[in-house]
Amino acid sequence: MGEQHISIEDSSAMSMSDLLEQWDTVKEVKRGNILSGTIVSVTPHEVLVDVGAKSEGVVAGRELERLSDEDLEELKEGNEVSVYVLRPDDDEDGHIWLSVSRAWIEKDWLAAQELYDSSECYTGTVANHNKGGLIVLFGQVRGFVPVSQLESSRGITRSGTEEQWSQLVGEELQLKIIEIDRERNRLILSERAAMQEWRKGQKERLLATLKPGDVVTGRVASLADFGAFVDLGGADGLVHLSEISWASVSHPRDVMQVGESVEVYVLQVDTERHRISLSLKRLQPEPWSRVLEKYEIGQIINATVTRLATFGAFARLGEDEIEGLIHVSELTDGNISHPREVVSEGDIVALRIIHINPERRRMGLSLKQAEGVGEWEAYQDSQESEESLEESQSEVETVEELESMESDGLSDAAEETSPPVDTETGEDSGEP
């Protein structure tokens, strides 16, 4: 395009208003402006760009030498390009000196400012590192992620090894701009802040979509005395200590560990308080629903003493998650002030089942009523066959018949046919 020249022939055919209108279309060029122009010609020494000014702008060859091959591919005749005005044409040499790279940098700073103002996050790739943190490019601008702004789960500190830092080079990070200062060429980024924003969004989404009864997979994020927090993919739900297992659990670490993948049942979603309640045990068979299939009153079983209280001792049956109570009165015939005088936590003892209430999840056990039963006898009794169960039922029916005969005045006949039977236990009383 070059300088605009209007010939006499042209001017004779144009009115003065047309000439003024054409002159008004010429752009005013000032230092620091970012203009859009069309590439007129490309040589190894310079690129000429028509920016709509009185003369064409020049991108010097020394800048072209600093551009990458990928950037140079964009500098072809006819292509639209953004340029930064280094020096307008009112300088002594009459040229408009332009920079392509400075334009790109300025546009990146403007984009960074927009992200900062909107608090939006973006994905950046780690280009390099130093002892203080990571270098992440934002277009042509160098951004910096201090080590304090990395996710704590990475476990990297200022004293991190070269291997730890190097492993992050090339990795994509979710980042948020937390400080921007164009004059100081300062762009501070944070992975931690970005992940907080991401989790907040994820939590809102989960609160809106999750419902009680859903079964989801998560990762154990942390453990506390009162329960375990499970990351469901950006939002944490709580598995309370009482919802970890049907059996008694003193601390979550007894059942799970941080980082473990677990399947959980959604108990409750509180959108107002932003809380999600979860359960592990609801995905396990409820032991008390089948207790009568395995146990019966009078049965001798091996059990492990789990807890002691002033009123008695609790014992867990075999490998089942069922606990029964040995009341203090069923520990021994003697007088004691505390169960610890008879048993200790962890003791394996033979016990007789004296009461079962599946609805209330209660089972009464007796140590003193099982005294004299050896380990082998206890094992045999716990493995009792259906045949022996039928015999026990037959004994109970015999007791009922004797009671009926006694009420009819035929107790003598009963004494001749069978020894006296204890109507409470169904056993021979041992009396003549």
Listed residues 196, 225, 252: the one ending a domain: 196
Residues 25, 96: one domain? yes
d(CA 299, CA 70): 83
Element (H, E) at 163: helix 162-166
Q: How far apart are CA 198 and CA 235, in angstroms?
A: 9
The number of helices, as runs of H, and strands, as runs of E, in the chain is: 11, 20
Following DSSP, what letter does each residue of 352-399 receive, concatenated? EEEEEETTTTEEEEESGGGTT--HHHHHHHHT--HHHHHHHHHHHHHH
pLDDT value for 269: 93
For residue 290, give the nearest of 353, 357, 358, 232 by alpha carbon: 358
Q: Does residue 166 lie in a domain region? A: yes
273 in the same domain as 295: no
276, 298: one domain: no
Does 322 reside within a domain?
yes
Q: Are 227 and 252 in contact (CB under 8 A)?
A: yes
Q: Is 182 exposed, middle or buried (0-12, 13-18, 19+ CB in 10 A)?
A: middle
The CATH number linked to 331 is 2.40.50.140
Phi, psi of 244 (to 5 degrees): -80, -45
Q: What's the pLDDT at 159?
A: 77
pLDDT confidence of residue 340: 95
Length, in residues, of the chain: 432
Residues 224 and 296 in one domain: no
Whether residue 275 contacts residue 314, with contact meaning beta carbons closer than 8 Å, is answered with no
Pair (295, 278) in one structural domain: no
Q: Are residue 22 and residue 94 in the same domain, yes or no?
A: yes
**26 and 58 together in one domain:** yes
φ/ψ of residue 330, rounded to 5: -105, 5
Residue 414 is assigned to a structural domain of this protein = no
**Domain final residue, candidates 196, 226, 243:** 196
- Cβ 72 vs Cβ 111: under 8 Å: no
Let me know if residue 397 belongs to a domain.
Answer: no
pLDDT at 413: 35
The answer to whether position 205 is within a domain reads no
Residue 262 lies in a domain: yes
Nearest to 301 by CA among 360, 365, 393: 365
Q: Name the residue range of residue 33's domain.
A: 8-105
What is the spatial distance between Cα 300 and Cα 373, in angstroms, rounded to a whole number?
A: 8
Task: Render each residue's pLDDT in the chain as its tens digit; 432 residues.
Answer: 444 433 334 444 455 455 445 444 455 778 878 888 888 888 888 888 888 887 788 888 888 877 777 777 778 888 888 888 888 865 556 678 888 888 888 889 999 999 999 999 999 999 999 878 999 999 889 999 999 999 887 878 877 788 888 889 999 999 999 999 988 999 999 999 999 888 888 888 888 899 999 999 999 999 999 999 999 987 899 999 999 988 778 899 999 999 999 999 999 999 888 899 999 999 988 888 888 988 999 999 999 999 999 999 999 987 767 889 999 999 999 899 999 999 999 999 999 999 999 989 899 999 999 986 544 454 455 444 344 434 444 443 444 443 444 444 433 433 433 344 343 334 444 443
Rounded to 5 degrees, what are φ and ψ at 374? -75, 175
Which one-letter amino acid corresponds to residue 365?
L
The pLDDT score that the predictor gives to residue 327 is 96
The contacts of residue 69 (CB under 8 Å, 6+ apart) are none
Interstrand relation of 57-60 and 121-130 (parallel, antiparallel or unpaired) = unpaired
Q: How many distinct structural domains can be found in the chain?
A: 4
- On whether both 306 and 278 belong to a single domain, the answer is no
Kindly state whether residues 25 and 87 are assigned to the same domain.
yes
Considering the domain boundaries, does residue 399 fall inside one? no
Of 137, 163, 196, the last residue of a domain is 196
Q: Is residue 421 part of a domain?
A: no
Tell me what pLDDT residue 372 has. 64
Q: Look at the pTM and tell me if it is higher than 0.85.
A: no
Q: Tell me: do 36 and 76 sit in the same domain.
A: yes
- Based on the domain organization, do 183 and 230 belong to the same domain? no
Residues 170 and 87 in one domain: no
Helix (H, G, I), strand (E, B) or coil at 338: coil
CA distance 204 to 302: 50
Exposure b/e, 294-328, CB count within 10 A at least 16 = b = ebeeebbbbbbbbebeeebbbbbbeebbbbbbbbb
